[in-house]
Amino acid sequence: MTNKERLKNAIEQDINPANNYNEIIKKIEKERKMKSKNNLLKWSLVPICLIVFISGIIFLNYKNDNDNLLENKPSIDKENNITLNINDMSKMDMTKLDTDIKTVSGVNIPYPFKVNDNQDEKWFIIPSDLSQTKNYIVYTKKDKDSKEYDVVANYIMLITDNNERNIKVKYSKDKEPIRDYYFSEEDSKITTINGIDLKIYKYGKSFYTIFSYNGYNFDIETSNITEQEFSDYLVSILR
């Protein structure tokens, strides 16, 4: 073999059509696999997105249902003899009423709760920022024609932070406190605290409860008070 043939062979071994062809086919196969993987990923994204979307809807529905359930589900504290049921007032029909009343502030009003004989300061559990208590008497007329507001309708004890948070305790001895709205209490779930039945409602950031205790009829409304604060307060007054 001549030098020329040897050099030619060496070049052919290095730059070889068969080797290049095999490399091209390998790359084609590799690209095809990559594409099919990408296609698989691309097309699998559609059902995955669909599953995520459906799961999201199911989850949200479940959560909403669960939230409703939690609100409606009784919270039972056997130790303190409490079965707490909160009715969602937003799902109820409410009617605004025109009331003809006169409210007098800064007056002495009867105290409706049982008093702690031991003078324990923690007898009533009130949020510490609600440091102000204001008293009111609500008067109505004897009849429509009367000009005088001389009939005591109910008393109001307003426990407040002088801002947005307050507990308004309305109570009356012989009849229910005057309300300026009406809603049907039918089918409302009952809360029991220390053997006393209450109807508790929630509307936005407000709670509302109706019950009779110690010879009085109570309507208690709250504003910006948490459920825990509200239930702690109720438990502390209903002894």
Footprint on this chain of other proteins (rule: CB under 8 A): 2-4, 6-15, 17, 19-21, 23-25, 27-29, 31-32
Q: Which is nearer to other proteins, 28 or 51 (CB)?
A: 28
Q: Which residues sit opposite 155 in a β-bridge?
A: 137, 171
Residue 141 is classified by DSSP as: E
**Residue 8 CB, nearest approach to other proteins (Å):** 5
**Residue 38 CB, nearest approach to other proteins (Å):** 14
**Residue 12 CB, nearest approach to other proteins (Å):** 7
Q: Which is nearer to other proteins, 7 or 54 (CB)?
A: 7
**Residue 37 CB, nearest approach to other proteins (Å):** 16
Q: Which is nearer to other proteins, 21 or 111 (CB)?
A: 21
| Tokens encoding 224 | 């910006």
CB environment 124-146: b (16+ within 10 A), e (fewer): eebbeebeeeebbbbbbbeeeee
Sign of CA dihedral 85, 91, 97, 102: positive
Q: Which is nearer to other proteins, 27 or 63 (CB)?
A: 27
Query: Nearest 5°: CA angle at 184, between 75 and 64?
Result: 45
